[in-house]
Amino acid sequence: MKTDTAYGREARSEKPQSVTTLAEMKRKGEKITCLTGYDASFSALLDRAGVDVILVGDSLGMVIQGYGSTLAVTMDQMVYHTRCVVRGRQRAFVIADLPFMSYPEPNRAAENAARLLREGEAQMVKLEGGRIRAETVRHLVAQGIPVCGHLGLLPQSVHQIGGYRVQGKDQQAAETMLEDARILQDAGATLLVLECVPASLAKKITESLAIPTIGIGAGVDCDGQVLVLYDLLDITPGKRPKFSKNFMAETGDAVSAVRAFVDEVRKGRFPTEEQSF
């Protein structure tokens, strides 16, 4: 096995992750690990630490650019950061967010998603919303573009929902979200992020779908977990979200912190009830 001189570890020899390998992980009951990444250096670190998926999130508007939301992030910026991440990784699967107002209708969504795949070299795009996005998802998939859906707390709709709040708490909202998840799957989405959703609802959604779910503040029963990297490393300015964990506190260096996250997710030790709703 090849020695990784940059981190003093042995490089992983596994084949690159794909939509097929992620689907197989769900079937086998193996947890999927995902962290956000925005540049080549951190991308290489995450890859070597064993992270399965790197999400180039529009969260970069907050943790990189210093805005109070994700709304200011542009397509050009997403393409740039995605390209940087792809250059750093070897094995991890790369998903890129379609930023705010880049997918108001199917044709424009396809044009912008094509940029993320062609110029940014992403392997999948992520968009927010339920049944209202079904036509767009079908259109993207028809063009050969893999799609990850996103339900629950939708950061691009933060002003519409009145802030960063848990979604799906009452019965009607929970039933709507469950149906939205099924609609997105039927439209062709091959992955689904559930953000700030009651753990019991996230479990029900996960069990009802054939595609993998990736949770963030959605309990331990999702098929995988994602965190904003800067929250994990405790370098995000201000207060960390309830659903995050400072993995640096017990490890002391970035590589060990990421490895600890990977290990705890795979063993079902993260998130705990403390990081769930």
Which member of 195, 207, 250, 264 is catalytic?
195
Distance in angstroms (rounded) separating the CA atoms of residues 150 and 7? 34
Q: What are phi and psi of 179, to 5 degrees?
A: -65, -40
Question: What pLDDT, in 10s, does the model give residues 24-38?
Answer: 999 999 999 999 999
Per-residue pLDDT, averaged over 124-142, amounts to: 98
Instruction: Determine which helix (DSSP H) or strand (DSSP E) holds 224, and give its type and residue range.
Output: strand 224-227
Distance in angstroms (rounded) separating the CA atoms of residues 63 and 60? 5
Integer angstrom CA distances of residue 229 from 26, 185, 232, 269: 23, 27, 5, 18
Q: Where are the alpha helices (DSSP H) in the chain?
A: 19-28, 40-48, 60-63, 75-88, 106-118, 134-142, 158-161, 171-187, 199-208, 229-232, 248-251, 254-266
Q: Which of 101, 23, 98, 16 has its CA nearest to residue 56?
A: 98
Q: What is the mean pLDDT of the chain?
A: 94
| Alpha carbon of residue 2 to chain centroid | 29
pTM score: 0.94
Q: Which CATH number fits domain 15-270: 3.20.110.20, 3.20.20.60, 2.60.120.330, 3.40.50.300?
A: 3.20.20.60
25 dihedral zone (left: phi>0; alpha: psi -120 to 50; beta): alpha
Question: What pLDDT, in 10s, does the model give residues 56-74?
Answer: 999 999 999 999 999 999 9
User: 158: which residues sit within 8 A by CB, 6+ positions away?
Assistant: 69, 70, 71, 164
Helix/strand/coil percent split, the chain, to 5: 45, 15, 40
Q: Which of 177, 199, 213 has its CA nearest to residue 277?
A: 199
Residue 207 falls in the annotated catalytic set: no
Q: Which of 232, 224, 254 has its CA nearest to residue 42?
A: 254
The answer to whether residue 43 scores a pLDDT higher than 90 is yes
Per-residue pLDDT, averaged over 77-85, amounts to: 98
Distance in angstroms (rounded) separating the CA atoms of residues 21 and 136? 25
Sign of the torsion angle spanned by Cα atoms 155, 157, 161, 166: negative
Looking at residue 248, its pLDDT comes to 95
Distance in angstroms (rounded) separating the CA atoms of residues 277 and 45? 30
Per-residue pLDDT, averaged over 206-217, amounts to: 98
β-strands 191-195, 3-4 pairing: unpaired
Per-residue pLDDT, averaged over 76-96, amounts to: 98
